[in-house]
Amino acid sequence: MDSSGQNSTSNSTPSTRGKTDPAWEHVTEGRAHDGKKTFTCEVGPCKKVPADVRFRMEECLKSIRENKRQSKETYEQSIPYGPGIFQFEGDIGDDDDDDEVEEIIFQNDRGISINEGGASGNKSKAAMTQKRKGKAPTNIGHYFATRTTVGSQPTIKSVLAGKQAVHKAHMIAAKFFYDACIPLNAVNSVYFQPMFDAAIAIGAGYKVPTYHQFWVPLLQDSKKELKLFIATLRTTWADTGCTIMGDGWSDRRHRTLINFLVYCPRGITFVKSVDASDVVKDAQLLFKLFQEIIEWVGVSNVVHMVTDNGANYVAAGRLINETYKTINWSPCAAHCLNLILGEISKMTHIHDLAIRASKVTRYVYNRPWLVAWLRKRKGWTEIVRPGATRFATTFIALHSTHKHMHDLKALVTSKEFVDSRYAKEKKSKEIITIILDNKFWNDCLVIVKIVEPLMRLLRIVDGDVKPSMGYVYEGIYRARTGIKQVFSNKRRLYKPYTDILKQRWDNQLRRNIHAAAYWLNPAFQYDQASFCRKPEVMSSFLDLVDTKATCSKTKLLDESRLYRDRLESFGRELALTTCKTTQPDEWWRLFGHSAPNLQKLAIRILSQTSSSSGCERNWNVFERIHTKKRNRLEHQRLNDLVFVHYNLRLQNRHMYKMKNNYDPVDIESVDKTEFWIVEEEEDPPLLDYDELEQMLNEDGSTPQNDGNDDSILEIGDHIDLECFGNTNITDEQNAQDGRDGNGNNEDENKDDWLTRGLPRN
């Protein structure tokens, strides 16, 4: 047959298969002598088919088989009385539908037995039995357990429920989500499975609550339960103290909203959400808003207040310090660290590096065959995972990209890739050049080591799992010294980064409560080699003694000497060996009884958080609660709904973090990761979204990671500092390094900014 050599994808017959089947790409369309359209293709199998083509064909065949299976299930479900329970010889169905059945005797409504042969009208008592191979020994105790207990005796209905029945139940649940537009990540709720377990325990005939029951009595009952839980937390505030967290943010309508929460080591409590659009620009009005929350919590219970670091919040915080001498205000440490990371990421050479790295990740994650190839590599984890903030995600992605350097190099040099049509794409040449560029990997490594201490500190202060107040000062100090060590103390190299750190520390984050908590933290106090002995550290502690002492100040100073010199209870060997492994506030409870007054002060200081980002934001809920076009009753119910929602989330936040597995195409995280996985150009010719979804959802095909990556410090590769980035330093400045091998000169004293002139607040 004559062939025209044209691809038939666009000129194929209008059948459904012709539009989607990738085999049409390998068919040649032509015309016969009589004018009829002809299609020419290879009949025999091709032994040299490229790996990417084989992958697409196998996925297509798998999709066809899946469609046939779903069609069969749809037909069986369309039978009015459902599929038959019994299967006789010759029946069509899955052989393993009744694998769960160990020994069951079936009888019809008239008490007539059904024999194995299936002969109609047989009145004998012989019963049909089915036995599973390898029957496991039973435990008699399970027969008396409740139906929802793990390992309990299953009901007959659950035993008879085959794959079709389970699939039908899954479909009903899925349709409920789709019909009500419920976000799919709602299945991660800790109450999702218990909801079904409770309904199953009641049995058939259970009626779900009505709209009114959800909106009124059940909401009020939930609110009462949470108030009892909050009451148990309030009993600890007098002992440990608490931190008021003011989480300010803007919604999609550009309104300034503030979520008020109360933090203590036992848990976080959501108080309320306030529309502060009318008061946020006035420090005096903002102070009155904070004052209302302080009075509700109790002035004697509040040790610390943390809010946003805007100029208006700083002014309001100053008024708080002047009005309440025992309360310290500080800006959100997580926000300040995010701003530091943001300024570093805007540096020209780092911005360009992030763009190059994102081209690699976009290229990989938009080609399913490449992702499938990489996931077969031993120890593979996803390259892109969301961090606490967008800027944190950038540096996590750079670190993860560097960790996968060998995998990516192996990919672009593999025979499968070289023989595939991916290698022939115009865009592939740029990606291959980036991956095989040693300077690119060297720059990634330098950046990882620069931001490593900042990322660790951000993880500590943004976690809210444990009190973080005792680690802020040390974290900033370690970040500064760590950056210097990365650049071998060459001032012309490290100065652009330490200047960013210095500016944020001086203007925002530097507070005496951080330095005092550093002095009271035994992990740092008893580390003689690295403890900072600047006078300002001790001065900050003395300032806190002046403002927070509830006994004789002289007695407090005497007790502080016992702690500093490791005398009496502080002199135990166990106190020294556990000072770095025990939470600081708990350590003081164990070994501080020789200094009871200092013990009380230390516990209250070291039990506080340093971040205000303590709750997640449900945009729709907040937009509804702050809408003024509502009657008073409905507005109160919406307030109750938000109160219940956030306190339930906070009550179970540790369980949510355990379930926080991440999929690189998770739509809930796209705002943080789209720079790394979403291509700006048109889709590549081989991209099939259905294929990608199917591959990502296959069991075992997507290794998930909880996002906690603590391996940054362990990088020990060689770093070429001289070829990193562009420091824009003049020759005269470069010559300064020659005056001192360590880069120390008359300007080095300026680097004492960490402890110089700490403000009282």
The domain that holds 258 is classified in CATH as 3.30.420.40
Bridge pairing between strands 328-331 and 302-307: parallel
Q: Do residue 234 and residue 382 come from a single domain? A: no
Angular region, 41: left φ>0, alpha ψ -120 to 50, beta rest = beta
The pLDDT of residue 288 is above 60: yes
Q: Do residue 388 and residue 458 come from a single domain? A: yes
The pLDDT of residue 657 is above 60: no
Determine, yes or no, domain membership for 604: no
Determine, yes or no, domain membership for 560: no
As a whole number of angstroms, the distance between CA 291 and CA 289 comes to 5
Q: Do residue 453 and residue 538 come from a single domain? A: yes
DSSP letter (8 states) at residue 250: E
Determine, yes or no, domain membership for 417: yes
The pLDDT of residue 108 is above 60: no
Strands (E), 203-333: 242-250, 256-264, 267-275, 302-307, 328-331
Which pLDDT band, with edges at 50, 70 and 90, does 727 fall under?
very low
Q: Which of 50, 77, 104 is the last residue of a domain?
A: 77
- Say how many domains are in the chain: 4
The pLDDT of residue 93 is above 60: no
Q: Do residue 719 and residue 628 come from a single domain? A: no
As a whole number of angstroms, the distance between CA 104 and CA 335 comes to 63
Which pLDDT band, with edges at 50, 70 and 90, does 185 fall under?
confident
As a whole number of angstroms, the distance between CA 260 and CA 59 comes to 51
Q: Say which residues have a Cβ less than 8 Å from residue 297's Cβ, sequence separation at least 6.
A: 237, 242, 244, 262
- pLDDT score of 618: 54
As a whole number of angstroms, the distance between CA 687 and CA 666 comes to 18
Q: Which of 23, 44, 77 is the last residue of a domain?
A: 77
The pLDDT of residue 710 is above 50: no
Query: Which domain range does residue 634 map to?
Result: 220-331+616-651
Q: Do residue 248 and residue 351 come from a single domain? A: no
Counts of helices then strands in the chain (DSSP H, E): 32, 8
Q: Which of 601, 625, 651 is the last residue of a domain?
A: 651
According to DSSP, the residues that pair with 247 across neighbouring strands are 259
> DSSP per residue over 502-543, as a string?
HHHIIIII--HHHHHHHHH-HHHHT-TTT----HHHHHHHHH
Q: Do residue 285 and residue 422 come from a single domain? A: no
The pLDDT of residue 493 is above 80: yes
pLDDT digits (tens, 9 = 90+) for 239-262: 999 999 988 877 777 788 888 999
- pLDDT score of 694: 39
Nearest Cα neighbor of 20 from 66, 78, 63, 73 is 63
Q: Do residue 414 and residue 528 come from a single domain? A: yes
Which pLDDT band, with edges at 50, 70 and 90, does 517 fall under?
very high
Determine, yes or no, domain membership for 244: yes
- pLDDT score of 434: 94
- pLDDT score of 148: 54
As a whole number of angstroms, the distance between CA 514 and CA 460 comes to 14
The pLDDT of residue 14 is above 80: no
The pLDDT of residue 128 is above 60: no
Determine, yes or no, domain membership for 104: no
Residue 78 or 447, more confident: 447
- pLDDT score of 152: 62
pTM of the prediction? 0.68
Angle in degrees, 0-180, between the axes of helices 333-345 and 438-461, rounded to the nearest 10? 170
- pLDDT score of 160: 61
Q: Do residue 312 and residue 265 come from a single domain? A: yes
C-alpha atoms less than 13 angstroms from C-alpha of 756 in its C-beta half-sphere: 9
Determine, yes or no, domain membership for 179: yes
Q: Do residue 173 and residue 235 come from a single domain? A: no
- pLDDT score of 596: 94
Average pLDDT over residues 30-53: 74
DSSP letter (8 states) at residue 556: H
Determine, yes or no, domain membership for 90: no
- pLDDT score of 664: 36
Which pLDDT band, with edges at 50, 70 and 90, does 79 fall under?
low
Residue 604 or 24, more confident: 604
The pLDDT of residue 737 is above 50: no
Nearest Cα neighbor of 609 from 331, 312, 227, 214 is 331
Determine, yes or no, domain membership for 658: no
Q: Do residue 630 and residue 704 come from a single domain? A: no
Q: Do residue 365 and residue 470 come from a single domain? A: yes
Q: Do residue 374 and residue 478 come from a single domain? A: yes
The pLDDT of residue 441 is above 90: yes
Q: How much of the chain, in percent, has pLDDT values that exceed 70?
A: 67
Average pLDDT over residues 510-529: 91
Tokens of 334: 């997580």
pLDDT digits (tens, 9 = 90+) for 350-399: 999 999 999 998 898 888 888 889 888 888 888 876 655 667 788 888 88
pLDDT digits (tens, 9 = 90+) for 627-651: 555 555 666 787 888 888 888 888 8
Vertex 634: Cα angle to 628 and 638 (nearest 5): 85
Tell me the pLDDT of the chain averaged across its residues.
75
